[in-house]
Structure 1
Amino acid sequence: MPRIKPCSQTCDMTRNLALALALCVIAPTTLTGCATAAYNIQERFGIEKRDILVSRVESVVKSQTEAKEEFADALEAFRAVVAVDAGELETVYDDLSRAHDRAKGQAGEVRDRVSSVKRVAEDLFNEWERELGAYSDAGLRRSSERQLRDTQQKYAALTDKMDAATASMDPVLAVFNDRVLYLKHNLNARAISALGNETTDIESDVARLIAEMERSISAADAFIKDMNGV
């Protein structure tokens, strides 16, 4: 029988982090306490808050890239509906409904990941601010404080773009949701004709959304490079 190798350091971290999260669920105290426990475990393995922040910003980039694709797919599904023959309407409507649901789900993921970035950034900056008082060398303290203010300024620019991109999703989702419901209740040629003139407006809405996403992704990429010293 092959010898079983001992669990690696990564396994230990994963197990300990899972235990900390489980305790937060079973015996919750405060969200701050749970977050601190998770941070402490990760920091024991050399993962600092700035590393966690970079990782979460990378997750936002991934989610926003996927959101762009899902909204573009929903637009294509809408175009297909307004151009379809009446006999195929129900099938194409089903495609639009699924595309809308995927876009809605992806939008929720973007919001969650942006929120997670804000939580860890707040914790990082609060910790950094507190630790400025621990310096005995005034010159090093001033240098660290300048770096903190510079990082906060760049982060603020990033969150402005992330928030703009996130906000741009809701109006487009509302438009698609209305059209999906309308078609659901009126699966006929007259309904298709009524929606046919709205294609240009929806295309413009999706184009603006994608542009906001791209601005946010570019800002996130720049922030990640700066945090990594690239």
Structure 2
Amino acid sequence: MTRSSWWIALCCSLFTLVGCQSAYYSAMEQVGYHKREILADRVEDARESQEEAQAQFSSALEQMKTLVAFDGGDLEAVYDKVRGEYEDAKDAAEAVSDQIDGVNDVAEAMFDEWERELTQYQSANLRRTSETKLRETRQRYDSMLTAMRQAEAKMEPVLRRLKDNELYLKHNLNAAAVGAIGQEFDTLERDIERVIAEMNRAIAESDRFIASL
């Protein structure tokens, strides 16, 4: 939990009904947390959600390995675990998407404010320096967001495959169904490995971005 979490929860409760992000950010600034700090906290939260999603997708893969290797026993119990892993993976993926959306929301607000305030400078030298900093920060942010969105996009095909497996097993609780699922296991494994690799890249970009703020 980040240091501003309880303030965020408080402000969210205050402004949920009106849905006013500008009022939310103003309230946060009044208690000492500016957009740059909120952005850093949200990037950290997004990184944590990606790490949790990595662990969940890995867990789902391990459960599918157990299913493919099934050799007698309670197949319905195995199905229940497969279904549970799919639901947990789906929830983890949704959490990642929500966190990325939150990052993008505050980032756009911060960049818009920064751009507007450039006109307030009296010193041309300081304005040019700030413009350069804004451009560099925006470029680093865009690289990070692209990495996050690419990792996010890789999750959907995996979720579809997990759902297919869960549905097929649900209606065909027998060894033949396990064999049919096993034929597609290699593809699922590759897809999950790609997701994990993309998330590692996004996490590394997040670390670099936070260090630059």
Which band: TM-score by shorter chain? over 0.9
- What's the C-alpha RMSD, in Å, of the aligned pairs? 1.7
Where does residue 141 of structure 1 map in the other structure? Answer: 127
Question: SS state of the match for residue 28, structure 2?
Answer: helix
Tell me: CA distance 1:197–1:19, structure 2 relative to 1, closer, same or farther (3 Å).
Answer: closer
Residue by residue over 1:59-113, the C-alpha shift from the partner in whole angstroms, topping out at 9 and shown as x without a partner, is 1100000000000000111111111134321111111110110000000000000
Where does residue 26 of structure 2 map in the other structure? Answer: 40
Where does residue 70 of structure 2 map in the other structure? Answer: 84
> Whole-Å Cα distance in 1 between the matches of residues 183 and 8 of structure 2?
53
Where does residue 56 of structure 1 map in the other structure? Answer: 42
- Report 1:64-75 matches (<5 A): 64-75=50-61
Displacement after TM superposition at 1:54 (Å):
0.5
The structure number with the bigger radius of gyration is 1
**Equivalent position amino acid for 2:52 in 1:** E
Moved more, 85-94 or 185-194: 85-94
Please give the TM-score of this superposition, normalised by the length of structure 1.
Answer: 0.87
Is 2:95 the partner of 1:109?
Answer: yes
> Whole-Å Cα distance in 1 between the matches of residues 182 and 140 of structure 2?
44
Report if aligned partners of 1:86, 1:188 keep a CA contact under 8 Å in 2: no
Residues matched between the structures, number: 209
> Whole-Å Cα distance in 2 between the matches of residues 178 and 56 of structure 1?
33
> Whole-Å Cα distance in 1 between the matches of residues 9 and 144 of structure 2?
33
Is 2:206 the partner of 1:212?
Answer: no
Displacement after TM superposition at 1:194 (Å):
1.3
Where does residue 209 of structure 2 map in the other structure? Answer: 223
**Equivalent position amino acid for 2:31 in 1:** F
Where does residue 173 of structure 2 map in the other structure? Answer: 187
Tell me: CA distance 1:16–1:183, structure 2 relative to 1, closer, same or farther (3 Å).
Answer: closer
Question: SS state of the match for residue 74, structure 2?
Answer: helix
Residue by residue over 1:27-84, the C-alpha shift from the partner in whole angstroms, topping out at 9 and shown as x without a partner, is x3xx4xx111111111112211000000000011000000000000001111111111
Please give the TM-score of this superposition, normalised by the length of structure 2.
Answer: 0.93
> Whole-Å Cα distance in 2 between the matches of residues 108 and 141 of structure 1?
40
Residue by residue over 1:108-135, the C-alpha shift from the partner in whole angstroms, topping out at 9 and shown as x without a partner, is 0000000011110000000000000000
Is 2:14 the partner of 1:20?
Answer: yes
> Whole-Å Cα distance in 2 between the matches of residues 136 and 222 of structure 1?
32
> Whole-Å Cα distance in 2 between the matches of residues 37 and 170 of structure 1?
34
> Whole-Å Cα distance in 1 between the matches of residues 47 and 13 of structure 2?
29
Where does residue 201 of structure 1 map in the other structure? Answer: 187
**Equivalent position amino acid for 1:163 in 2:** R
Residue by residue over 1:194-220, the C-alpha shift from the partner in whole angstroms, topping out at 9 and shown as x without a partner, is 122222111111101100000000000
Question: SS state of the match for residue 73, structure 2?
Answer: helix
Question: SS state of the match for residue 33, structure 2?
Answer: coil
> Whole-Å Cα distance in 2 between the matches of residues 142 and 14 of structure 1?
34
Where does residue 138 of structure 2 map in the other structure? Answer: 152
Question: SS state of the match for residue 87, structure 1?
Answer: coil
